[in-house]
Amino acid sequence: MENQTIQRSLGRNGILVTPVGLGCWQFSKQNNLAGKFWPNLDDDLINRIVSLSLEGGINWFDTAEVYGMGASEEALSRALQAAGKKPGEVVIATKWWPMFRFASSIQRTIDKRINALAPYPVDLYQVHQPFSFSNERSEMAGMAELFNRRLIRSVGVSNFSARQMKNAWKALDKMGIPLASNQVQYNLLNRKIESNGVMEQAKELGMTIIAYSPLAQGLLSGKFHDDPELIRNIGFRKYSAMFRPEGIEKSRPVICLLKELALRHKVTPAQVALNWLLHFHGDMVVAIPGATREFHVTENAGALAFKLSDEDMERLDKASTVFK
């Protein structure tokens, strides 16, 4: 059986990560608009979430500048220090926020990222999304400068289309640096990267897909199908089409199959959904589910304690084809 000790390379950079990492958006402390998507978790709970993740074998954490304007990075650093982790013992990914900025901001703001995460280095630095006052070539030039100065260990992008990803890859490749990854929304209820060229391009370029929202914001747990009344109290998520009655019905066949497979494997539907995501495309997809409660961490870390059969994965593929 696969577990978190079997690691995967982030693209062709040689940085090894466990198939499941921890997404840290929820550590934003409600500091800005992005932070308002989550409750204000106290440091004790954040420390427990990070500690349990480490105990579960998870070795990497994904955060970003825009998550509370450094609040998530600082909270993650405090939690790792509280857990006794030394620099180099874990892998840290963070992101530069490009909106309303030029590429020159990449160099100007790196000190803030380094200080927020201190004493832990930036192992993967990502362009958070493709909208800025600069193009991919300029942004990759900025990233290459940080890489060459050894301020970051690798470069990634997030929410990039197949074309944008290829442009960024070409720009970095000319400087002898591989583009490690593209972080995108990917789950059984959102398989668009399989039809819009992103997955195909990543395979061609030897890049890793980092799947955020791998559980479709909790929908793949099945709890909202069991009790739709819960949707009233989930904040901004309830306005998403997939949480509306017609969206719930559209995804019900996938949820029913997840429950069937979960019963057979003696796991949860969410763990089945994660297991499919991490195996269907070989070892090129890694996932960063978040956690606001301790049991979320245990569930996420245990998603690789079993193995779906090829037949199981094909059935899930067929049931979710409508979401490509």
Is the distance from CB of 41 to CB of 294 less than 8 angstroms? no
Question: Helix 104-117 to helix 71-82 angle, to the nearest 10 degrees?
Answer: 30
Query: Which among 8, 212, 235 is positioned nearest to 95, based on CA atoms?
Result: 212
212 an active-site residue?
no
For the CA atoms of 281, 264, 221, 276, the dihedral, rounded to the nearest 10 degrees, stands at 0
**Which residues does residue 125 pair with via DSSP β-bridges, in sequence order?**
94, 155
Task: Provide the pLDDT confidence category of residue 85 given band limits of 50, 70 and 90.
Answer: very high
Domain membership flag for residue 274 = yes
Residues 145-172, mean pLDDT to the nearest whole number: 98
Domain membership flag for residue 61 = yes
Task: Provide the pLDDT confidence category of residue 77 given band limits of 50, 70 and 90.
Answer: very high
Task: Count other Cβ atoms within 10 Å, centred on residue 135.
Answer: 15
Read off the amino acid at residue 138. Answer: S
What is the pTM assigned to this prediction?
0.95
What is the reported pLDDT for 114?
98
pLDDT in tens, 188-236: 999 999 999 999 999 999 999 999 999 998 899 999 999 888 888 776 7
Domain membership flag for residue 35 = yes
What is the reported pLDDT for 29?
75
Structure token digits, residue 170: 């070409």
**Which CATH number characterizes residue 47's domain?**
3.20.20.100
pLDDT in tens, 30-52: 776 665 566 678 999 999 999 99
Stretch (H or E) spanning 208: strand 208-212
7: Cα within 13 Å, side-chain hemisphere? 16
Q: How far apart are CA 161 and CA 163, in angstroms?
A: 5
For residues 100 and 228, the model is more confident at: 100
28: Cα within 13 Å, side-chain hemisphere? 22
What is the reported pLDDT for 1?
37
Domain membership flag for residue 92 = yes
Chain CA centroid to CA 222, Å: 21
Give the range of the structural domain holding residue 73, as residue numbers without chain letter: 8-218+268-309
pLDDT in tens, 118-140: 999 999 999 999 999 999 999 99
Q: Is the pLDDT of residue 311 over 80?
A: yes
Query: Which among 67, 13, 32 is positioned nearest to 290, based on CA atoms?
Result: 67
Chain CA centroid to CA 129, Å: 14
First to last CA, the chain: 29
What is the reported pLDDT for 212?
97
Is the distance from CB of 28 to CB of 69 less than 8 angstroms? no
Query: What is the β-pairing status of strands 60-62 and 179-185?
Result: unpaired
The residue written with tokens 């490749």 in the block is 173
Query: What is the β-pairing status of strands 208-212 and 179-185?
Result: parallel
Range list of H helices, 56-119: 71-82, 104-117
The vertex-165 CA angle with 161 and 170, nearest 5°, equals 150
Q: How far apart are CA 234 and CA 208, in angstroms?
A: 31
What is the reported pLDDT for 5?
62
Domain membership flag for residue 223 = no
Question: How many separate domains does the chain show?
Answer: 1
For residues 234 and 56, the model is more confident at: 56
Q: How far apart are CA 22 and CA 291, in angstroms?
A: 8
For residue 228, say if its preceding peptide bond is cis, omega within 30 degrees of 0. Answer: no
Q: What is the mean pLDDT of the chain?
A: 94
Domain membership flag for residue 238 = no
The vertex-194 CA angle with 144 and 181, nearest 5°, equals 20
Domain membership flag for residue 305 = yes
Domain membership flag for residue 227 = no
Contacts of 133 (CB under 8 A, 6+ apart): 100, 101, 102
For residues 29 and 186, the model is more confident at: 186
Residues 260-275, mean pLDDT to the nearest whole number: 97
Q: Exactly one of 67, 125, 186, 212 is catalytic; which is it?
A: 67
Q: How far apart are CA 226 and CA 78, in angstroms?
A: 37
For the CA atoms of 225, 27, 211, 163, the dihedral, rounded to the nearest 10 degrees, stands at 120
